[in-house]
Chains A and B, each alone.
Chain A
Amino acid sequence: MLVSLKWLNTYVTLPTNLDVDKFAETLTMASAEVDAVIKIGQEWDPSLVVTAEIVSIDKHPNADRLRLATVNYGAEDNQQVVCGAPNLSIGQKVAFGREGSELTNPQTGKKQKLKANKIRGITSAGMILSEAELGISDNHDGIIELATDTPIGLPLQDHLGDTILDIHIWPNRPDMMSMVGIAREISAILNNTIQHPLKYNLEASDNNQKIKVLVENENLCSRYIATIIKNVSVGPSPGWLQERLQSIGQRPINNVVDITNYVMFELGQPLHAFDLDKIDGNITVRSAHKDEPLQTLDNLERTLTPEMLVIADDSQPIALAGVMGGKNTEVTETTTNILLEAARFDPVSIRRTSNKLALRSEASSRFERGLSSHLALDATQRAIQLFIEITGATPPDNYVDIHPIPNENHEIQLARTRIDTLIGFYIPTTEVISILENLGFSVKSTTINGGDELFTVQAPWWRTDITIPDDIIEEIVRLAGYDRLPESTISGQIPAWEPNNELVFREEVRDSLVKLGWQEVITYSLTTKEVLQKVLPPEEIEGFDFFRLKNTLSSDREILRPTLRHSILETIERNIRLGANNIAIFEIASVYLSQKNNSLPEEKSLLTGAISGFEINRWGQPTSKPLDFFDAKGTVENLLENFDTKANYEHSEMFGFITGRTASILVNNTPIGFIGELSLDTLTQFGISQPTILFELELEILLNQLKLQKEFLPISKFPSVQQDLSLLVPYSVSVGEVQNVFENSIIVSSAEPFDVYTGDGVADDCRAVAININYQSMERTLSKEDVEKEQQKILKQLKKLYDIHPRF
């Protein structure tokens, strides 16, 4: 909410020489956040930037679009100015910048000194100014029109200079959505009094007036005050009123509408003025009929639904209650009698209606926060005062008031021990009482049995947000000052520790990959079906029960991703585009999979990594040798080795990957993921034109296969015997299977391949695989015979199982 300090100063006396920034800080600390401080007119030179009147307008002899305006700025001689603004008129009060004024250049936004110069051959003695040139706003469509009663020759600073605070009002504080509300807060902070605006005291309510009011939905309208105000003369508002509205960014319309708006900004109560003579019969506050039409003041035709509350006359709706008035009863220049409405509508109903119609108004934003029903009468009386003063209205005798007894706040019992416990700091009783009284609370302090002090507190009517003792404690502590709070630590014991193995495991996996030179990335959780089609088979896409957004910000974020593959590939593509060539990245994140019972998705923790590009030489430069399956597999093996695990790799087929170069990864015969080289087709779809190998591990499944506790294994005291063997292994048998045969022997501690050879001397259906075998026993030194015997046994087995022979 925008707050003009000049305006505010009429209710609460601000210190002269106020340091505005410090003041804004104080307000932020204790009350509501000041988002911005806008200082208007500080840089306007009082002798050069002044108020003036246009006394004559002539054509520019050399330019059709320019005119020559003669201005009287209170000096003996008038000045002639060349002006291109469309909204010039004789008698208009304007802001005049004389030669030498520091002004804002609307084109550049920079400060610039005004020089007298010739424009199309005519000397311009100064400039008639726009809001942009004065630095008030970006508006450069025309010159500022000052109020018609503005005196001439005054420093513009005195007239328009102001400081505007942009204050963020919390949703629970409808009382602060007004100048008086802000003034109340400030007076409590500054510990001074507040000057309430003048009100016209109406004698009494009388519900038997010419117009009757019927409230059908009492739960949605807890108070309705209607006042007939006769003989208003509609016209422009006086200058002071226009300026105040303009200072907080509101456009003056006419005196009647301006008064209702002004009172809303002053007191916080939305008001509405109907043209009395356009109302047919009586007023009913009721639910709208299904599909009932109403043209609102913004000229839009609205179709209403029964959950919306309307103000209706005998024939039709005339306003959308609490949101916007109807065009059919709008106050116009010909209006002479009005019906003034001040009501208290149900906040939920107002919010529902304005949400449904996407129609937010200053009125609805106040009603939806839950106003006090007290306010309606206050605002009515204030508005009547202004109607009499400004529009020459006949003072009304009485008003209609439905449900005239407003709700009072309940008394709240607040124990001293609660204050001390919750704050952790003792605030003396006298201070507690003075803080609360400054805020308008009534407080009684009593001592109860046992010696505890008890405060009996009643919040003022405008504080609809105060309902429990802790609400009052917040009032006390915020005004006492959070800076006075001591610092302590929780005195109780530290709660029993709970392990979080999944989280710890994820971090260990991250560390392992980073150590191997892989870069972690974090990508967005949302994607589209189109992108997913590149990495998932069509039948899977069709069968997928996606979690799709109801409301999206952009078309590339609509589905919660069930895989990370596309994210990794998109990141690779982007970085290749940005100049990277050799890439190794991974992400650990959740994917979202549907579960039975229409419940929340399973959020499965996945690791997906990929390498892309070519081998790097000693200089860190890519060679022409493409990265392959085994580059990525090495990482997976190393990663698993960190967790003392080895996996088996078995050929598998995956959508988007090259068959024969893709394997599922199994630990203890449980599939934990896969690794594979992406097909050219998939890579092309992502715009990647270099070899890319990707792996994916399901971390929770993997974790379940791991031994959580590392275990010490005794180291054999006996020497090992190394033996190298070359075997002719048919392509139909995997080296892994051969290794397994060796490693099944109790005296073989490892059997690691160290070369694979094909070509001369090896049959076409075979490879020569060199294996280094390590024989070792825990119990004794192995003799040559032991090793020889075991080796013969294994070779026999290999021959029998796979027709594998040693190569000589």
Chain B
Amino acid sequence: MSITTDIQNNLVNLEKNTLDKLTSIDNAEDLSELRTQLLGRNGELTQILRSIGDLNTNERKLIGQASNALKNKLEHILNEKNTELISVQPSNLESLDVSLPGKYQPIGRLHPITQTLRQILDVLRRLGFTVVEGPEVELSSYNFDKLRIPENHPARDMWDTFWIDRKDESMLLRTHTSPMQIRYMETHEPPIRVAVPGRCYRYEATDMTHEWMLQQVELLAIDKDVSLADLKGTLHEFARQIFGSDSEVMLRNSYFPFVEPGVELAVKFRGKWLEIMGAGMVHPEIIENAGYNSSVYTGFAAGMGIERIAMAVYEVDDIRHFYTNDLRFLSQF
């Protein structure tokens, strides 16, 4: 007997044995084991296929075809059996307590301030504003003087300041995001529409509504014929998207040295008026200092505190929660 006959016999036996075994298999695990015995890495049929390499071309063709045909056939039979086994469920499967928790998967969240900031920036982007950032450590010329808040002017009391102990004594932690108004104007030409998010710092004691570190977003829009009515319309649209489509806005007289007129914007939210930002028309001197013609270009600026808005939206009663980073607080958002 030649090798080929041996192999052919083996294949026939293999088929017969397999079909015999199959009749007694009544569960998926046993079936899987049988599959491994036949077709696994060291399976019987696998080994036959492997041994083909030692045959001459004709034999190889003959045996190869036969064994591949058997392989396909067996796979088909095994698959059918498997389907049959799965579709006929044993009647004794235990019933699950479906109230038990699912397998634990950790959940992470963005900090509520990040979430609020993102919502705000998304709205502003839709309104055509580009997001830019500026330095947190600033020079007093940008934080104050160029914003028309000269040294020894009582308006400086509006911003209690952390000063940096450097040779350059004018270094400070920015008290607002407004310095970026100046920095941006220095390097750009109108039309301008930018939003500036970032950390700011105030030299003041903390309590339920005051933090020494806070996050602001500044808005600056400069173009021909920008008006106070544009400011009101833009900020109302902003308010609608953040506080809900039925929110109302109100402008009140206010004072910031770098705007004229200066206003405070309040939003009616859940029946209460919340002061959420200072705003106004960019002072013509600042427009001129940027090298633009103030009789052609006008603009508005606004600045808002993110914590205040987050406190209102989430009904957080104490601003100090935000930077304490108690996970029991953070996991609520």
Q: Show the binding face of A for B, using Cβ within 8 Å.
A: 28-33, 170-173, 347-348, 351-352, 355, 365, 368-369, 418, 421-425, 468, 470-471, 473-474, 477-478, 482-483, 485-495, 497-498, 500, 502-503, 507, 510-511, 513-526, 547-553, 557, 560, 571, 574-575, 578-580, 583-585, 590, 592, 598-601, 603, 616-620
Asked whether A551 and B152 contact (CB < 8 A) given A424-B230, A500-B130, A521-B330, the answer is: no
B138 to chain A, nearest CB (A): 7
B321 to chain A, nearest CB (A): 11
A170 near B255: Cβ-Cβ < 8 Å: yes
| Docked pose: A553 CA to B192 CA in angstroms | 38
Q: Output the nearest chain A residue to B280 by Cβ-Cβ distance.
A: A474
B114 to chain A, nearest CB (A): 6
B101 near A619: Cβ-Cβ < 8 Å: yes
Interface centre among B104, B113, B118, B228 (most CB of A within 10 A): B228
Which 6 A-B residue pairings sit nearest by Cβ, starting from the closest?
A424-B227, A517-B106, A424-B229, A487-B233, A474-B261, A170-B255
A485 near B137: Cβ-Cβ < 8 Å: no
A574 near B152: Cβ-Cβ < 8 Å: no
Interface residue? B163 (CB, 8 A): yes
Asked whether A172 and B108 contact (CB < 8 A) given A578-B327, A600-B171, the answer is: no
B213 near A524: Cβ-Cβ < 8 Å: yes
B261 near A549: Cβ-Cβ < 8 Å: no
B-side contacts of A574, CB under 8 Å: 324-326
The one of A171, A498, A520, A620 that contacts B255, using a Cβ cutoff of 8 Å:
A171
B234 near A468: Cβ-Cβ < 8 Å: no
Main secondary structure of the interface of B (DSSP, over half): mixed
B230 near A171: Cβ-Cβ < 8 Å: no
B-side contacts of A473, CB under 8 Å: 260-261
B105 near A517: Cβ-Cβ < 8 Å: yes
A482 near B327: Cβ-Cβ < 8 Å: no
Binary contact track B180-197/A, C-beta < 8 Å → 1, others 0:
000000000001110000
| Docked pose: A172 CA to B148 CA in angstroms | 12
Q: Output the nearest chain A residue to B281 by Cβ-Cβ distance.
A: A422
A-side contacts of B260, CB under 8 Å: 468, 470-471, 473-474
A449 to chain B, nearest CB (A): 17
Q: Show the binding face of B for A, using Cβ within 8 Å.
A: 101, 103-111, 113-114, 118, 128, 130-133, 135-139, 152-155, 157-158, 162-168, 171, 173, 191-193, 199, 201, 203-205, 212-213, 221, 223-230, 232-234, 236-237, 250-255, 257, 260-264, 281, 283-285, 295, 298, 322-328, 330-331
| Docked pose: A486 CA to B230 CA in angstroms | 8
A-side contacts of B325, CB under 8 Å: 521-523, 571, 574-575, 585
Q: Output the nearest chain B residue to A364 by Cβ-Cβ distance.
A: B154
Asked whether A487 and B193 contact (CB < 8 A) given A365-B154, A507-B118, the answer is: no
A583 near B327: Cβ-Cβ < 8 Å: yes
A549 near B165: Cβ-Cβ < 8 Å: yes
B-side contacts of A547, CB under 8 Å: 137, 164, 166, 171
B253 near A470: Cβ-Cβ < 8 Å: no
CB pairs A–B below 8 angstroms (27 shown): A170-B254, A172-B155, A173-B255, A425-B228, A468-B260, A470-B261, A473-B260, A477-B228, A483-B250, A485-B251, A486-B229, A486-B232, A492-B225, A492-B226, A495-B193, A510-B110, A520-B108, A520-B111, A525-B213, A526-B213, A547-B166, A550-B163, A551-B162, A553-B205, A560-B164, A616-B104, A619-B104
| Docked pose: A369 CA to B156 CA in angstroms | 11
A172 near B203: Cβ-Cβ < 8 Å: no
A-side contacts of B118, CB under 8 Å: 507
Asked whether A485 and B203 contact (CB < 8 A) given A492-B224, A519-B331, A520-B109, the answer is: no
A549 to chain B, nearest CB (A): 5
B152 near A351: Cβ-Cβ < 8 Å: yes
The one of B106, B152, B233 that contacts A488, using a Cβ cutoff of 8 Å:
B233
| Docked pose: A557 CA to B152 CA in angstroms | 27
Q: Output the nearest chain B residue to A557 by Cβ-Cβ distance.
A: B212
| Docked pose: A490 CA to B281 CA in angstroms | 13
The one of A368, A551, A580, A601 that contacts B327, using a Cβ cutoff of 8 Å:
A580
A-side contacts of B166, CB under 8 Å: 547, 598
Interface centre among B104, B137, B171, B295 (most CB of A within 10 A): B137
A620 near B101: Cβ-Cβ < 8 Å: yes
B168 near A598: Cβ-Cβ < 8 Å: yes
A90 to chain B, nearest CB (A): 46
A516 to chain B, nearest CB (A): 7
Asked whether A421 and B225 contact (CB < 8 A) given A514-B109, A616-B106, the answer is: yes
Q: Output the nearest chain B residue to A479 by Cβ-Cβ distance.
A: B253
A-side contacts of B263, CB under 8 Å: 482
B227 near A423: Cβ-Cβ < 8 Å: yes
B165 near A522: Cβ-Cβ < 8 Å: no
A642 to chain B, nearest CB (A): 14
A603 near B168: Cβ-Cβ < 8 Å: no
| Docked pose: A486 CA to B118 CA in angstroms | 29
* Sample of 20 more A-B contacts, CB < 8 Å, known A351-B153, A592-B136: A170-B255, A351-B152, A470-B261, A473-B261, A494-B128, A502-B133, A510-B114, A519-B108, A520-B114, A522-B111, A549-B164, A553-B203, A553-B204, A553-B212, A575-B326, A585-B325, A603-B136, A618-B103, A618-B104, A619-B104
| Docked pose: A549 CA to B161 CA in angstroms | 10
A549 near B163: Cβ-Cβ < 8 Å: yes
B-side contacts of A551, CB under 8 Å: 162-163, 203
B-side contacts of A619, CB under 8 Å: 101, 104
Q: Output the nearest chain A residue to B103 by Cβ-Cβ distance.
A: A618
The one of A30, A493, A507, A550 that contacts B165, using a Cβ cutoff of 8 Å:
A550
Q: Output the nearest chain B residue to A423 by Cβ-Cβ distance.
A: B228
B-side contacts of A592, CB under 8 Å: 136-137
Asked whether A524 and B323 contact (CB < 8 A) given A485-B251, A489-B233, A519-B108, the answer is: yes
B108 near A171: Cβ-Cβ < 8 Å: no
A351 near B154: Cβ-Cβ < 8 Å: yes
| Docked pose: A599 CA to B164 CA in angstroms | 12
| Docked pose: A598 CA to B167 CA in angstroms | 7
A512 to chain B, nearest CB (A): 10
B-side contacts of A423, CB under 8 Å: 227-229
B275 to chain A, nearest CB (A): 9
Interface centre among A369, A490, A523 (most CB of B within 10 A): A490
B199 near A525: Cβ-Cβ < 8 Å: yes
A640 to chain B, nearest CB (A): 17
B177 to chain A, nearest CB (A): 14
Asked whether A485 and B232 contact (CB < 8 A) given A474-B260, A492-B225, the answer is: yes
B-side contacts of A171, CB under 8 Å: 153-155, 157-158, 255
| Docked pose: A474 CA to B262 CA in angstroms | 8
A31 near B253: Cβ-Cβ < 8 Å: yes
Q: Output the nearest chain B residue to A568 by Cβ-Cβ distance.
A: B325
B-side contacts of A424, CB under 8 Å: 227-230
Interface centre among A347, A488, A552, A579 (most CB of B within 10 A): A488
Q: Output the nearest chain A residue to B53 by Cβ-Cβ distance.
A: A784
Q: Output the nearest chain A residue to B261 by Cβ-Cβ distance.
A: A474
| Docked pose: A548 CA to B250 CA in angstroms | 41
A-side contacts of B284, CB under 8 Å: 468, 470
| Docked pose: A457 CA to B152 CA in angstroms | 29
B234 near A495: Cβ-Cβ < 8 Å: no
| Docked pose: A619 CA to B135 CA in angstroms | 46
Asked whether A522 and B327 contact (CB < 8 A) given A421-B227, A471-B260, the answer is: no
| Docked pose: A521 CA to B329 CA in angstroms | 11
B167 near A172: Cβ-Cβ < 8 Å: no
| Docked pose: A517 CA to B109 CA in angstroms | 7
Interface centre among A29, A348, A500, A502 (most CB of B within 10 A): A29
